[in-house]
Structure 1
Amino acid sequence: MNDITEALIGFELAGDSNDDSVQTLERTGSRAMCAMAFSVSWESEHARHTDQLVARKLNLWRDILPDALEPELMDKPVDHVARRRFAPGEFIVPYQSDLCFNLSQRAFHRNLRTGNYIEPRTGRFYPRAFIGGSRGVFPEEILPFRICSTSGDMICCDLNNPLADKPLDVTARILDIWAAREEHGGSCNDIAEMLTFNGPGMQARWRGKPTDFWQDLPFTRVAGEPDAGFYAMTRMVSHIDKTASAQIEKLYTRLLPKGGRVLDMMASWESHLPTDNDYTEVVGLGMNAEELAANPLFTSHAVHDLNLAPTLPYDDTSFDAVICSLSVEYLVKPFEVFAEVARVLKPGGVFITTFSNRWFPPKVIRAWEGMHEFERPGMVLEYFLQDGLFAGLETWSMRGLPRPADDKYADRMGESDPVYAVWGTKA
């Protein structure tokens, strides 16, 4: 999905702008404020990726637009969309071979975090502080770098931006324009860096090699109690804010087949599906009978513990689509479950997983907690790739939308919960 107009639903600036409306973008001191939605699309060896970001308060007198995009946005009105394809190294700093180098295994500070021993794993990202003092890296740096490979006495490190060697399709949509109030000071934002810094690109393998997520007991959890005991308590709570939920609904509306039979796996009382839909049937499978019964979209539902029995109680090729909303991080046997999803899907049927950065701490798997947010789509991609049962793989992210004013966290967090998705079709 590379059209930013398809991604935003019910977008409102929530009071960020003022009443001094401006008709078009102009780079002048009094007419420089705007909100824009950006999309960066790119491809890796195994998937297509789209990362979207809403910048709600840009000052174009001060902030820096990419040179190639600026003439396509200046003097344009609200809702204008500009698109541009950038060659590798044209949008951001190009790949530099000297930023990929070997270090002694001893140079990786495994005990950097007190009480938490970290072993470098191939393909994973770590804050640069783990190699602080090496090759000019400062000990306090938190910008991530990647482990390319490990051997008995050496590790190969890559400090390049993971998008540095990829062509990028960039889309910008003007959401609002307003006259700037008088400002003193402030920082200058490089918009290209804003879109690609500290995250996008981490979803993909390094040069096609599988990322090693599987060491260090990745599927263990803090809570040792059976899932049935934890989920016996009914929790009629929303796990993300309304804005984020609306983005998931928009994604499902676009990807799910009309008239299809849909399985909502690891479900609860909210499905994040459109209430006004034309699906033939929506079947719920989850852990709490009361929550499932409260979901108005389900035509039928069943209680089933996939961590205890990673099989789906349905016939082969019985669904047109399967969704898993905000729950993939709880699976302790994901490969078995993903194979089961492929079994119950019809040929060409779609499986969509969506998640955010919130979860139940006692039940999330250990690996999920300990990785960068943008590595998580990469881990879910590995689930899809494991048995070669899925094709047409894609990842998607959305960040920067405003949190609803009536949300209970609105006074502490201005941004909506980020949303990530990974999907594919049965091969």
Structure 2
Amino acid sequence: MISKNHISQRFISYVTIDTESDPNSETTPSTPKQWDLANILVEELITIGMHDVTIDDNAYIMATLPSNVDHEVPIIGFISHFDTSPDFTGTNVKPQIIENYDGNDIVLNAEENIILSPDYFEDLLLYKGQTLITTDGTTLLGADDKAGICEIVSAMEYLIQNPQIKHGTIKVGFTPDEEIGRGAHKFDVKKFAADWAYTMDGSQIGELEYENFNAAGAIIKVKGKIVHPGYAKGKMINSMYYASEFINALPKEEVPEHTQSYEGFFHLYQINGKVEHTQLEYIVRDHDKNKFEARKLLMAKIVNDLNTKYGSVIFELELKDQYYNMKEKVEPVMHIVDIAEEAMKQLGITPLIKPIRGGTDGSQLSYMGLPCPNIFAGGHNFHGRYEYIPVESMIKATEVICKIAELTALKH
């Protein structure tokens, strides 16, 4: 039986170490402070009895749990990332433990009147009677994805301490910089040497995902012309007004706040503007490859049409694909999803098989030759002050890892 107190203390020891990544950095890891947790994880993996524990020059950690059966079993892996999102501060995280949650509002910070309420976050009501770990309202928590790391380490420790549970060779991998889209960029798939793997990086208990967005980033540069405003008639070109034409030309309902499930979107996440130059930064997302390509073509058409309208090159578009839907790589080996689904069912967990409305290291890894579905880690409201995780969900995720290892050995 996995101890609630043991897994809680391990998780808290991780989240209180600041590992925020930085999209503007060109190093790997993108912030030196990610090394603080990375080095601790190496020592912990050695302490619990893992073999071949390594950390490379870019802070990618790998370790092996040898097989304890005498027949051939596929080598499976479990992967999580130790950085946290730059969307909200991860400095000085002060977790709060809510025992036996009663279903009412949780005061995260009385001084700033920050309330975690089931009236707004309905999923809280799924966890009445359970133990929740929350923020103090001033930082994110870091369950994305230190919960996944905690669950993997705890599962390996449990399997080592309980050799009666039969399993094949298991690989674990911990990565930096997933939150800025680079978690798999320098992952050595050949060194990892697994037949398939699972990222422990989902949210609600039961989530099992093998579809994600196709993703691109778009930058629209708009050129203007500055003239003294008192003498500007017929001469000034205010790039900010022209940029608004591009914004308004995109479908107004195809944005994150109006879409769900398989619906794609255009997301304007940053504007920097002056009269002479405005830059719009978008992410473009769609599960369907054809619709994804159509979205990129639409942006290019709008730019072309606006330049034609004004008779000069005022608008420039830079488009770059970021990652693709891993469904294409996982469907040919669907037994790896079936094993995870069966593991959940045997543990009394209802599998929630649905598309990821985002990305995952597993997407890039799948295209690098390591098929890699995603499994729940248990947290909610990632990347902000309202983040929380039920301890019972972490325990269940740990049990799922152990059960997948056991079923893989039994089936082969």
TM over 0.5: no
- TM-score, length-scaled by structure 2: 0.21
The structure with more strand, counted as a fraction of residues: 1
Tell which has more relative contact order, 1 or 2 (C-alpha 8 A, sep 6+): 2
The structure with more helix, counted as a fraction of residues: 2
